[in-house]
Every structure is written in C-alpha cells, then in structure tokens.
Amino acid sequence: MAMLDQVIANQKKNDEGDSVYEHIEKKEIHKGAATAPPEIHVTRNIPAGTGTDKIAMGPDGKPTDVKAYRAELEKLVHSLDWATEDGRAQRDAYEKADKHRKDKGELIDATKTAFLYTFLAREPRGDRMLMKFKMEPNPAYKPTSRATAIFAKVQGVAWIDEQANQLAKVEVEVTDDISIGGFLAKVYKGSHFMQERWELAPGLWLPTYAQYDFDGRRLFMSFSVHEKTFYTQYKRIGPPKEALAEIRAELSKPALTTGDP
C-alpha cells in the first residue's frame, strides 16, 4: 500500500524533527486504584544533542523557584556545550543515540508487514478528514527481534490524515500477556495505549496527548499504571549549537538575572 509507505516515511521525519523541538509535558499518573488522586509531573523537555533534558516546572508550566530553575538552565548550558564538541566521548554518545533512532526506525518499518490493515471508515476531525483502519497481527509475519515479536500480541486502530498521509491517532490493545526485561516483568492482556498527533509545524506532526492503561507484574509484585500525558508549547530550539545560544539568551533575561519571578 503506497499510502502506508508514505505514512511510515513521514513518521520517521517526525521523529527527526522532534529532536530539535522543545515542549512542555504534563503527566497525570494513577498508580493502583483509579479513584486515588493522580500524581502530577510537569517538565520542560529540551533536546540536548544526545538526549533530552527535563526541567521540573509548576502546574501552570512555569518555574516555581526561579533560582532553582536558573541552576537547571546553567546545567543544560554545560550539557549543550559538551554536545557541540568533537571528542571521543561525544562521538560515542552520538553513535549510541543514532543506534536508538535506527532501532526505532526499524520498528516503524516493521509495522508495514507485521499487521494487516482493513479500511473501516472516513471520519472528520476539525477541518480534516481521517481514514480509519483496523490493525490485526499478520500471521505470516516473522519477527526479527524481541521488540518486533510484541506485534503478534497487540491489535489496534489507526487514523491517517487523508491529505497529509500522517498518523493522526492510534489506539493499541494488548491481546496476550507480554514478557519484557528478560521475563522479569510482564504486561497483562487488556492493557491499552492511545496517542493523538497534530501538525504543529509545516509537515511536522507531533504528539499532543497520550494515555497508558497498563496492568502487570514486576518480579513478584503486581503493578497498575494509568497515565495521561499532555504535550504543549512546542517550540523549535534547534540542534545543540542553536539551542545553546537560545538558552544563554534566556539566562541573560532580567527576570532570571534578578531572581524575580
């Protein structure tokens, strides 16, 4: 299916674009009983070359302690400065990050043959039209890794933006228990994942909302995680050299210089 090839190619481009965009991430985490109040964690997530720096923020997405926030930005400056250098340690770190991206890309590629896609309907979302597909495991698919073997134990629904050939929404359900971490942990049948994506820059579709509802066990302890994540305030900050200039400029602003909120 030519459309699926384009969706996969676009998804890889989105992952590359995500590496130069910062955003605010708000997590609402329920552990155990769903009636318990959630833990709220808000962070400013900033790409730092070989990883992502996460700085704790207040519930409103703003710093709660300007001095502590400034200290975190100063640490980030050192990390970005290090990432711009050309040394053995930096090359090793970038090679590790590149391998992670390659492995993720191979997983995305595998979805083309790991699932059978059945068209269900066309549905509007705002002023866009989405094509809805059912995803079922392909019995003829031969996994190439432990990661791709998971595809045989999940099914779901995918919504594709008809005009852009971009993944707009996906829902996945675990249909059989999945062992992870060398059988030290297990995710139970019935666990669920959902993610929504929107175009946040021309040709760049990034997550705006995700929800995990997982039950399982780790060693001999059962766990239940119900997590909602909201992604907002996306802003291009660029690769390390550009990001370094941006963060240094932010540190020079009066509010951070004087310590006034």
What does the pLDDT look like over 229-241, one tens digit per residue?
A: 999 999 999 999 9
Q: What angle do CA 52, 102, 170 make, to 5 degrees?
A: 75
Q: Can you give the pLDDT at residue 19?
A: 92
pLDDT band at 261 (very low <50, low <70, confident <90, very high): very low
pLDDT band at 255 (very low <50, low <70, confident <90, very high): confident
Q: Can you give the pLDDT at residue 109?
A: 94
Q: Can you give the pLDDT at residue 260?
A: 44
Lowest average pLDDT, out of 32-36, 121-125, 250-254, goes to: 32-36
Q: Can you give the pLDDT at residue 33?
A: 61
Per-residue pLDDT tens over the stretch 202-248: 999 999 999 999 888 887 788 888 999 999 999 999 999 999 999 99
Q: Can you give the pLDDT at residue 14?
A: 95
Q: Is the pLDDT confidence value at 92 over 50?
A: yes
Nearest to 196 by CA among 161, 243, 241, 149: 161
pTM of the entire predicted model:
0.90
Residue of 114 and 147 predicted with greater confidence: 114
Q: Can you give the pLDDT at residue 32?
A: 61
Q: Can you give the pLDDT at residue 36?
A: 72
For the chain, percent of residues with pLDDT exceeding 70? 95
Q: Can you give the pLDDT at residue 34?
A: 59
Q: Can you give the pLDDT at residue 221?
A: 82
Mean pLDDT of the chain: 91
Average pLDDT over residues 70-90: 96
Judged on CB neighbours under 10 Å (0-12, 13-18, 19+), 14 is buried
Q: Can you give the pLDDT at residue 257?
A: 55
Average pLDDT over residues 89-115: 93
